[in-house]
């Protein structure tokens, strides 16, 4: 590995890029200014090579996935994010859906006897689905299947719940954790910078609130993920500001498992005029995120958003996780125009996709404990 990066360094003419490559080789952190240089001057081949070097230093050829399904309690929402194709305002809730606790519990029971390790629960912010409602839901899920990991609620949902219940962030997180909440997904982060946030999601929790909720979860011993919505009206500086805040909190708590860049999709939303990013820009973003976020152990390509073939391609640009089986249980990206209109892959399909990229498929649980190594497995 060192020989290949030495060849890359020797071939560089730009001293700034050469300095970054040396830092990557030596395992040193790059600065915000150097990250901007990568966005402005780093070729796809260059940043991809550096990101792959880091990925293989951390994980070798291992590529993780899990067996999971989603529950989306409602797409009715009190917020009106400009980029969202999924939610329906509460004032127009006849256009949406609302699931009862029994309906959601039936979804869990449908997986009885199946090797599912995680249920992922996120949805719109419905004013009637409050703390008590979700505490009851999690208690019933845990009573029925104690081993099922509950990863649930974006910081946007949590902020609304806590404010309505008149609880502090710490009090609210403690109650939900005690009821069965095991970890947090990374949604709702969008872009932290207030200039962009004011234009795309002005009425929901800000960056300070989002980060405070994840910090409170980390202090309780819970892990969480982090996302960034990219490819819309943000600039490189806004992406760096976003990742910088995440890197700073990770230095403080070590509680983030995974960073998940989320590609903006422009179908059926108020930002349909924005042209989607190209696959080249997608791969550059993944690679630069892997280089910059040196304290994040994992980088995930969420295949229902990116598409399975592009997710496969990302495995050469720093990505070491492509999420899970999903089982056609999410509508968030299919409603926004993703190529994956019926997002589900069997374990066999996931293993084959990873092997085709010359990587080793590893089934994990939510916290990256290895469940099964499929490297030498033939279906």
| Residue 35 sits in the same domain as residue 136 | no
DSSP 339: S
Phi–psi pair at 269, nearest 5 degrees: -145, 175
H-helix segments, the chain: 2-11, 15-26, 32-41, 44-59, 101-109, 131-144, 155-165, 169-179, 194-200, 207-219, 236-253, 279-292, 303-306, 308-314, 347-356
Calpha distance 249→255 (Å, rounded): 8
DSSP 143: H
Calpha distance 184→226 (Å, rounded): 9
Residues 6+ apart with CB under 8 A from 31: none
- pLDDT in the model for residue 78: 79
* pLDDT average, residue stretch 350-371: 95
Domain boundary among 11, 29, 58: 58
- pLDDT in the model for residue 132: 95
| Residue 143 sits in the same domain as residue 52 | no
| Residue 43 sits in the same domain as residue 71 | no
Who has greater pLDDT, 235 or 302?
A: 235
Q: How many helical (H) and strand (E) elements, i.e. helices and strands, does the chain have?
A: 15, 13
| Residue 102 sits in the same domain as residue 194 | yes
Domain boundary among 13, 38, 58: 58
- Which stretch of 12-21, 143-152, 240-249 has the lowest confidence by average pLDDT? 12-21
Domain boundary among 10, 32, 58: 58
Calpha distance 13→26 (Å, rounded): 20
* 358 pLDDT more than 90: yes
| Residue 176 sits in the same domain as residue 287 | yes
Q: Please, what is the average pLDDT of the chain? A: 90
CATH number of the domain that 68 lies in? 3.20.20.70
Asked, for residue 101, whether it belongs to a domain, the answer is yes
**In this structure, what token pair is assigned to residue 86?**
């999924």
List Cα–Cα distances, 110 to 103, 344, 369, in angstroms.
Answer: 11, 16, 25
Who has greater pLDDT, 342 or 178?
A: 178
DSSP 93: G
Asked, for residue 319, whether it belongs to a domain, the answer is yes
Residue with tokens 């960034």: 228
Number of domains in the chain: 2
Burial class for 133, CB neighbours closer than 10 Å (0-12, 13-18, 19+): middle
Calpha distance 318→315 (Å, rounded): 6
Quick check: helix, strand or coil at residue 224? strand
CB atoms under 10 Å from CB of 240, counted, come to 22
* 343 pLDDT more than 80: no
Asked, for residue 169, whether it belongs to a domain, the answer is yes
Residue 11's domain spans which residues?
2-58
- pLDDT in the model for residue 378: 77
Calpha distance 125→153 (Å, rounded): 10
Calpha distance 93→104 (Å, rounded): 19
- pLDDT in the model for residue 91: 45
Highest-pLDDT range among 59-68, 267-276, 319-328: 59-68
| Residue 188 sits in the same domain as residue 226 | yes
Who has greater pLDDT, 250 or 345?
A: 250
Asked, for residue 378, whether it belongs to a domain, the answer is no
Q: What are the pLDDT digits (tens) for 261-279?
A: 999 988 777 788 888 999 9
CB atoms under 10 Å from CB of 366, counted, come to 22
Residues 6+ apart with CB under 8 A from 335: 85, 86, 267, 268
- pLDDT in the model for residue 94: 56
| Residue 154 sits in the same domain as residue 244 | yes
Q: What are the pLDDT digits (tens) for 198-233?
A: 999 888 999 999 999 999 999 999 999 999 999 999
Q: What are the pLDDT digits (tens) for 26-39?
A: 999 999 999 999 99
| Residue 38 sits in the same domain as residue 71 | no
Calpha distance 171→376 (Å, rounded): 47
* Buried-exposed string 267-304: b where 16+ CB fall within 10 A, e elsewhere: eebebeebeeeebeebbbbbbbbbbbbbebbbbbbbbb
**In this structure, what token pair is assigned to residue 205?**
């929790």
* pLDDT average, residue stretch 156-172: 96
- pLDDT in the model for residue 86: 56
Name the band, by pLDDT with cuts 50, 70 and 90, for residue 62: very high
Phi–psi pair at 81, nearest 5 degrees: -75, 135
| Residue 237 sits in the same domain as residue 123 | yes
* 338 pLDDT more than 60: no
Q: What are the pLDDT digits (tens) for 79-114?
A: 777 677 655 554 455 567 889 999 999 999 999 999
Which among 184, 334, 340 has a CA at the least distance from the CA of 249?
184
Asked, for residue 379, whether it belongs to a domain, the answer is no
- pLDDT in the model for residue 42: 96
Burial class for 374, CB neighbours closer than 10 Å (0-12, 13-18, 19+): buried
- pLDDT in the model for residue 280: 97
- pLDDT in the model for residue 90: 44
């Amino acid at each position: 590995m060192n020989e290949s990066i030495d060849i890359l360094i020797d071939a560089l003419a730009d001293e700034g890029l050469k300095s970054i490559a040396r830092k990557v080789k030596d395992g040193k952190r790059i600065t915000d200014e150097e990250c901007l240089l990568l966005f402005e001057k780093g070729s796809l081949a260059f940043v991809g090579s550096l990101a792959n070097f880091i990925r293989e230093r951390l994980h070798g050829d291992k590529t993780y996935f899990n067996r999971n399904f989603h529950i989306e309690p409602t797409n009715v929402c009190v917020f009106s994010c400009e980029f969202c194709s999924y939610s329906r305002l509460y004032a127009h809730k006849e256009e949406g859906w609302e699931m009862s606790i029994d309906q959601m519990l039936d979804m869990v029971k449908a997986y009885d006897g199946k090797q599912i390790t995680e249920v992922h629960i996120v949805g719109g912010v419905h004013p009637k689905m409050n703390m008590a409602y979700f505490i009851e839901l999690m208690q019933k899920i845990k009573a029925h299947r104690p081993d099922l990991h509950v990863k649930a609620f974006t910081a946007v949902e949590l902020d609304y719940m806590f404010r309505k219940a008149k609880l502090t962030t710490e009090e609210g997180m403690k109650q939900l954790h005690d009821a069965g909440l095991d970890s947090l997904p990374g949604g709702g982060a969008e872009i932290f910078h207030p200039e962009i946030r004011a234009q795309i999601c002005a009425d929901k929790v800000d960056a300070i609130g989002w980060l405070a909720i994840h910090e409170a979860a980390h202090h309780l011993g819970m892990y969480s993920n982090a996302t960034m919505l990219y490819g819309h009206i943000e600039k490189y500086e806004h992406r760096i500001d976003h990742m910088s805040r995440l890197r700073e909190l990770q230095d403080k708590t070590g509680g983030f498992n995974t960073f998940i860049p989320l590609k903006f999709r422009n179908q059926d939303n108020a930002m349909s005029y924005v042209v989607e990013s190209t696959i080249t820009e997608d791969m550059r973003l993944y690679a630069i995120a892997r280089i910059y976020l040196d304290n994040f152990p994992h980088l995930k390509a969420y295949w229902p958003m990116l598409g399975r073939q592009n997710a496969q391609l990302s495995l050469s640009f720093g990505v070491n996780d492509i999420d899970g089986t999903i089982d056609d249980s999410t509508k968030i990206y299919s409603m926004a125009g993703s190529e994956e209109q019926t997002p589900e892959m069997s374990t066999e399909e996931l293993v084959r996709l990873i092997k085709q990229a010359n990587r080793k498929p590893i089934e994990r649980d939510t916290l990256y404990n290895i469940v099964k190594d499929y490297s030498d497995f033939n279906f």
